[in-house]
C-alpha cells in the first residue's frame, strides 16, 4: 500500500480514489467518449480548454488534466471508463508516478492493462 499521506506531491483530493478523490469503481466514470468537450476553468486554467476527444493526442491531454486536477465530481463527469481502461497503457506514462500507483493499486482493471503491455 502506498503511503500517499506522507509521500505524494499530488494534492490528496486528486490522487486518492474513494471519498477523497476518484470514485469507488470505474463504472462510475460516465464521461464522454466522442466529440468536443470544454473543460471548466478550474481544471484547464490558462491554456487549452476545448478538446476533440476523437483525436487521441488531445484525448490523452484532456484525460491527464482531469486525472491530475479533477475532484471526484469532475472525474465522474469528464472521464469515460471504457476509454480510460483501453488507453491506460499509454496514459499511465503521462501522469505522475503517485497518481499512476494510486489508480493502479485501486483499480485491478488498470493494473491488468498496464501489466498486459509491459
Per-residue CA distances from 15 to 6, 24, 60, 66, 108 (Å): 12, 13, 18, 11, 16
Q: What is the pTM of this model?
A: 0.77
| The pLDDT value given to residue 118 | 59
Inform me whether the pLDDT recorded for 61 exceeds 80: yes
Q: Which residue reads 478550474 in cell numbers?
A: 42
69-74, Cβ contacts within 8 angstroms, sequence gap of 24 or more: 69/14, 69/42, 69/43, 69/44, 70/14, 70/43, 71/13, 71/14, 71/21, 72/19, 72/20, 72/21, 72/22, 72/23, 74/40, 74/43
- What are the tens digits of pLDDT across the range 79-109? 999 999 999 999 999 998 888 888 888 898 8
Amino acid at each position: 500500500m502506498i503511503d500517499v499521506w506522507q509521500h505524494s506531491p499530488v494534492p490528496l483530493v486528486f490522487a486518492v480514489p474513494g471519498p477523497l478523490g476518484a470514485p469507488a469503481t470505474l463504472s462510475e466514470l460516465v464521461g464522454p467518449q466522442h466529440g468536443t468537450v470544454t473543460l471548466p476553468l478550474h481544471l484547464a486554467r490558462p491554456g487549452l480548454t476545448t478538446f476533440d476527444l476523437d483525436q487521441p493526442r488531445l484525448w490523452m491531454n484532456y484525460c491527464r488534466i482531469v486525472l491530475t486536477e479533477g475532484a471526484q465530481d469532475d472525474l465522474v463527469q469528464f472521464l469515460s471508463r471504457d476509454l480510460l481502461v483501453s488507453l491506460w497503457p499509454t496514459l499511465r506514462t503521462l501522469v505522475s508516478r503517485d497518481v499512476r500507483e494510486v489508480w493502479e493499486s485501486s483499480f485491478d482493471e488498470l493494473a491488468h492493462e498496464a501489466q498486459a503491455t509491459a
